Amino acid sequence: GQNIDQPTEMTATEGAIVQINCTYQTSGFNGLFWYQQHAGEAPTFLSYNVLDGLEEKGRFSSFLSRSKGYSYLLLKELQMKDSASYLCAVKDSNYQLIWGAGTKLIIKP
């Protein structure tokens, strides 16, 4: 079967750095997405990786290792507004999006 694993919940301090990991086992790979979802709101697109390496976008960076089936989302200079769920999703060989259950990130002052 296909599977995306993420930690259920993480806690971090305002101003700090946090890394949210995602491991995947899918039939093929055609890209990996990270979405942010605030409670009761729509998921919004954060990043897309299809090649190995780090993609940086402001305070957020996303890393991919296809050989390890692994990605992480790195959030720097954490702000209270970053409290949200972070969803990892992989596009498989049939171009179907396989979603993780999301990581709930709690930011403390």
Partner 1 sequence: DAMVIQNPRYQVTQFGKPVTLSCSQTLNHNVMYWYQQKSSQAPKLLFHYYDKDFNNEADTPDNFQSRRPNTSFCFLDIRSPGLGDAAMYLCATSILTGATSGANVLTFGAGSRLTVL
Per CB under 8 A, residues contacting partner 1 are 4, 8, 30-31, 33, 35, 40-45, 48, 87, 91, 94-97, 99-102, 104
Q: Answer for the pair 46, 75: CB distance below 8 angstroms, yes or no.
A: no
Q: What are phi and psi of 81, to 5 degrees?
A: -70, -10
Residue 52 CB, shortest distance to partner 1, in Å, is 16
Of 37 and 70, CB closest to partner 1: 37
Cα 46 to Cα 74: distance, rounded to the nearest angstrom = 11
Of 80 and 95, CB closest to partner 1: 95
Q: Answer for the pair 23, 5: CB distance below 8 angstroms, yes or no.
A: yes
Q: Answer for the pair 22, 71: CB distance below 8 angstroms, yes or no.
A: yes
Residue 41 CB, shortest distance to partner 1, in Å, is 6
Of 16 and 106, CB closest to partner 1: 106
